[in-house]
Amino acid sequence: MPTLEEAQKEIIAEFSEAADWEERYQMLIEIGDELPVLAPELKTEDRLVPGCQSRVWVVPEEKEGKLFIQADSDSAITKGMIALLLRVFSGRTKEEIKLASLEFLKEIGLDKHLSMSRRNGLYSMVNKIRSF
């Protein structure tokens, strides 16, 4: 498993190959399509991320001091965003998650190219993960 920093660098490298933002949005959708389907019984109200325009469920499980996360969304773009966060955060210790820099979000341009409501939702997802 790559380190947290390596995972972020891999994402930056992938997105740097995109020619424009339309292509980056398509990449987000494809990344989201790769997420395993979350079982319907796990899609409960207490697992919803507050502050998201779309419905996003985040399911944590702690094993051997590391947090493993499953997630799903009813929106293709949002599902891609949570998939990126899982690539960076899932399988890490709580301390790593708490201290992680989120520079990769700026590096790939998500902070500039998302609508205000999607950007707020993205940071709500980060906050939900960090709250575990």
Which residue among the candidates 4, 27, 28, 52 is catalytic per the annotation? Answer: 52
Q: Could you give the C-alpha distances from 113 to 4, 62, 108, in angstroms and in order? A: 24, 33, 9
124 is catalytic: no
Distance of alpha carbon 93 from alpha carbon 30, whole angstroms: 27
Nearest to 69 by CA among 53, 56, 51: 56
Q: Could you give the C-alpha distances from 4 to 11, 49, 96, 126, 129, in angstroms and in order? A: 11, 23, 8, 15, 15
User: What are the catalytic residues?
Assistant: 52
